[in-house]
Amino acid sequence: MLKVRSRFNRSRLQSLKIFKIYCLAIISLSSLITIGISLFIPHLQNRPKFQFPNQLSLRGWKLQSSKDFDAALKNGAIAAKKYTYISPKQDLLEIDSLYISGTTEITRYLEMSGFNSSQNLNIHYLDSIGYYALFSDGDRAYLSSCINSHGMATITEDQFVHNINLEHIGFYLLGFRDLRDRKCLLTTLAVSLKTTKLDKAYGTLENSWIDWYQNWKANFL
């Protein structure tokens, strides 16, 4: 009985030693990668300030104008741009795009922006894209969502935190992102309801959102 217990203890100690060796190896490798990045790829730590392009194509629409969104910049956005598009039928689509850090809850942002319908959002989900909110306010219909540098689009804080995955950690180790990255590309699309019904307006917003998301997702770290 004593011999069996002794063998069990030796086996347990051996397993613990192997586990410690693996942990030390992982920690050492992570440290070496981080040091190597800081020594040999220093420019990754000094990336240029984010800037929105003046020209941004959108399928089915022609860009009419783009300008800095001064009100959003005064309220703490890192960068902000307001795009206006026109369709062949002369319908207008306005897109406010804000590069922000910290406010990942869509309802909080909408309340700060003065919307009255931020608590009556219609929440939707699309595979490979994520969550977005539809709502109307006055004579306009809106779609709002947060494009993440990691994971799919979100509208709540919990969804944003859930997006922090192994891919994001890998980008952190390579120096492309902060581990506690709180930045997102907050997008609000709007069309008028003066000449169209709400359901049709929502369909227009959703189609434009899919194209907008796919254009940005490939170029947003």
Q: Tokens 């347990």 correspond to what residue? A: 12
* Nearest residue to 138 via CA among 82, 89, 188, 198: 198
The arithmetic mean of pLDDT across residues 109-127, rounded, is: 78
User: What pLDDT score was predicted for residue 126?
Assistant: 93
Q: Which helix (H) or strand (E) holds 113?
A: none
Pairing mode, if any, of strands 122-126 and 140-148? unpaired
The domain locations on the chain are: 2-45, 62-217
Which pTM was predicted?
Answer: 0.70
Could you report the per-residue pLDDT of 1-41, keeping only the tens digit for each?
A: 544 445 545 665 566 666 666 656 666 665 555 545 444 44
User: What pLDDT score was predicted for residue 208?
Assistant: 96
What are 47's two structure tokens?
């990336």
CA distance 109 to 59: 27
The arithmetic mean of pLDDT across residues 68-92, rounded, is: 83
* Nearest residue to 186 via CA among 117, 58, 95, 61: 95
Pick 48 or 90 by higher pLDDT. 90
Q: Which of 20-34, 122-136, 174-188 has the lowest mean pLDDT?
A: 20-34
